[in-house]
Every structure is written in C-alpha cells, then in structure tokens.
Structure 1
Amino acid sequence: MKHPSLRDQAYAIIKNKLLHQEIAPGERIREDILAEEISMSRTPVREAVNQLTAEGFISYVPRKGLFAIELSRKELEDLLDVRLSLELLSVDRCINIIDDHEQQLGKVKKTLEEWELAIKNKRYDECNSYDSEFHLGLAYITQNIKLITFLKDIESFMQIARVTEKKHFTEEMYESSLKEHKEICAAIERKDKETAFNALRENIRNMKKNIRI
C-alpha cells in the first residue's frame, strides 16, 4: 500500500483546518508558521498551499499575502444553487435505477442511523460529516462519474457552508435537518420523485435561511 507523500499529508491537514475553520475565514496564512504547527518542512507545506490556492480555498492578495477563503453570503447561495441542480439530477437517477442498488441505498440509510445516534448523544460536531456522506452516497448510486466528480468538487465548499450555517444550531434544528434527509431517502425508496425533489429543495432553502454572514 502506497503511503501518502509529505505534500499530500500537508494538503490534507491544512485543508481540514480550513474546512473546520481552525484557520478562520479571512485569516492570513504564513507558510513558515503552518510548517511549524504541523511539524513539517516548508517545501511540502508550500506545495500544499499552492494546490489549495489553485482550488480556491486560499486566496492570494498582491503585496499582502495569502488568506483563507472568505465566502460571501452571495457566493454561498450561488454554491447552494449549483448543488441543488446536481442533487436533483442525482436523486432522479437514483430513483430510476434503485431496484438494482438496494445495497447501496442501505448504506445511505445506515448513515442516517449513525447521524441520528450522534444527535441523541449530542455529538453535533459529527453531523456535518454525516450530511456529506448522505449526499455523496446518493451520488455513488448513480454511477455517473462526472456527476460524482462535480459533487465531490463542491462538497468541500459545502462543508464551509455547513460550518457557517450550524454555528447557531439548536438540537431541534439538527433534528429538523436529519428529518429532511430521511424524507429524501424514504421518497427515493418509494420512487416518489416529486416528494424527493420537494424535500431536497426544502433542505437547500433552509440552509440559505440559516446562513448568517
């Protein structure tokens, strides 16, 4: 089994810090400080930062330096609009082929069970990961490689949106979000496209409503 390179390790660590806002949006990024924090040399850190800059997670401001991406409300709403279009396609495809992929749908339902358990045990920090697993799980059922790739590409930005959205979440709001996802899954299982689409649109509407920037 091939071990990840130092650059790949640095990339994963720094990206995780950005997604979970351990590096705050708009915060200046210094490669020397990052290298010291994660106990690596400057070279793999610089390569990782360059990749994250190319992917849009870090912005370069001439004569000022590097900064963690700071998404505006408009940018987050645009991101959610794109995601909705992709998710509608994903759900439509899932329903069309679900009879041949019951095992994969079972994995999605298992994610919902683990999500519910996390809420009951007040492990709210795990909810974003289960949210992501749910949507990517549906995408994998479609076996549409391009769709999966596009959804994975925006999923990291979605994690930033979820962190922003859930800063003020109550237990009731976590439960409501889980309920929306259960409705999507149940509608797919029943092959009820209209209900699935409506539940998905409601989920996106609520995300937009809960984003406070």
Structure 2
Amino acid sequence: MDMNLKNIAYEVIKGKIIACEYRPNTFLSEAFLMQEIDASRTPIREALNKLEQEGFVQIIPKKGVVVTALSLNEVNMTFEARLLLEPYIIHHYMEFIDLHKIREIYSQTEHLVPGEEFYADFCRLDDTLHRLISSACSNKFLNESLIHIYDQNNRIRILAGKNIWQRHIEAAKEHLVLMDLILQGKKEEAAESITNHLIKSKTEAIRSLINEQMPIN
C-alpha cells in the first residue's frame, strides 16, 4: 500500500510540476502535500526523494522543498540535447517509427483550427509526435534521457507557449512536412526538417521567456 501511495504521490506532484501548477521556485511544504494528495508523510517524502533525483525539486534541510528553477540556461540545454538526439534517431531508427500512428497524428494536425482549443490540442499533438519518434529508438539510455527532456520541455512550453500563438501555427505546418517526409521514407530530408523545426522552436521559446524576464542561470 505504501508503495502504491508513493507512486500516486510521485505522479501527482510530478504532473503538477510539469503542468506548472507548482511553478518554478515555488516552496512546497510536506504538510501541504500531505493534505493535497491525502497521503501520510512517508510516501510524500519517498516521492520527493525520487523527484529530487530526477531534478524536479530540491530538498533544502530545515527549509522545505522547492520546485527546481527553469532558467534560460536550462532551456538552452534542453534544446541542445534535443538537437543532438532527435535528428540522430531519424537517421538511425526512422524505419521503426509507427507509420500508422504518424498518419493518425497527421490527420489530427491537418484539422487543427486556430482558436480557443488550438493551443491545448497543438501541445498535445506536439508532445505525442516527438515522443513517438523517439520511441522508435531501441537504446534505453537515449529513451530515458528523452523522456526526462520532454517532461522539461512541457514546462518550457507552458511558461512560454501562450505568448507565441503564431509560432504554434507555423510549428503545426512544420510537423506536417516532417511527417510527410517520414511517410515517404526520406531520411535525410526528415532529419533536416526536424533540425530546422527545433531551431525555430528554441528561438521563439527563448524570445518569449526573455520577455517574461526569466533568469539566465
């Protein structure tokens, strides 16, 4: 039961951090989390220890738990890792990408309509597409790294995303081009497409976050 409660506490806290319900630099007390999750101190502490190992929180003795800051340096490192890994996966594992799921995402992306629901729908499809491409890689160490990177990327997207509506529309079009190249088996072109897509996304995310006065370090 304690293990189950630990897992529940871990998933709830992590989910709220990624969704920025617990924003960067926010202090979280054990008492608050116990009440929020309806769990005892032990599973909360075990969940926080795991989240600290993954870099989502920092446990400060006699002070409490703080949600890890998200700085421009972290944003740069996130995109640096993606620019190294995602084109590599296209080059070496593209034939293992699930084309049926690519077609499903393509169809949903085609039918995105700018408006109130566009932001949430685009973010969901963006996350699904990039995770699908990375899942074609059979190297578990790369997969584990990318899972963590995409979790951090969701924090970046939420903090920056609503300020860059036009970028989302352009990115959706870039997704369609990328998926079309994957469906055609054009490996070199697909790798170049995902590289250009990530560079543009990085540029716009940093511009938006600078406007929000995000710290450098």
**What TM-score comes out, normalization by structure 2 length?**
0.83
**Which residue in 2 is equivalent to 1:163?**
158
Counterpart code for 1:91:
I
CA distance in 2, matches of 1:116, 1:161: 24
Superposition deviation, residue 118 in structure 1: 5.2
| Long gaps (5+) in structure 1 | none
Equivalent residues in 2 for 1:47-62 (5 A)? 47-62=46-61
CA distance in 2, matches of 1:109, 1:53: 38
Aligned residue pair count = 205
Indicate the structure whose relative CO is greater, using CA pairs within 8 Å and at least 6 residues apart.
2
Contact 2:59 2:65 in 1 (8 A): yes
Matched, 1:205 2:199: yes
**Which residue in 2 is equivalent to 1:14?**
13
Counterpart code for 2:59:
Y
Matched, 1:181 2:175: yes
Contact 2:58 2:67 in 1 (8 A): yes
Matched, 1:149 2:144: yes
Contact 2:167 2:204 in 1 (8 A): no
CA distance in 2, matches of 1:119, 1:38: 36
CA distance in 2, matches of 1:39, 1:115: 39
CA distance in 1, matches of 2:23, 2:84: 29
CA distance in 2, matches of 1:68, 1:115: 33
CA distance in 2, matches of 1:60, 1:140: 32
CA distance in 1, matches of 2:67, 2:52: 9
Superposition deviation, residue 153 in structure 1: 2.7
Structure 1: 4+ residue segments shifted above 6 A: none
| Long gaps (5+) in structure 2 | none
Amino-acid identity (%): 26
**Which residue in 2 is equivalent to 1:132?**
127
2:99 to 89, 105, 108: 105
Superposition deviation, residue 105 in structure 1: 1.4
Residue by residue over 1:157-206, the C-alpha shift from the partner in whole angstroms, topping out at 9 and shown as x without a partner, is 12112212303132x33221111122111122223233222221222222
2:108 to 114, 120, 125: 114
Contact 1:58 1:68 in 2 (8 A): yes
CA distance in 2, matches of 1:68, 1:174: 27
**Which residue in 1 is equivalent to 2:82?**
83
Contact 2:91 2:188 in 1 (8 A): no
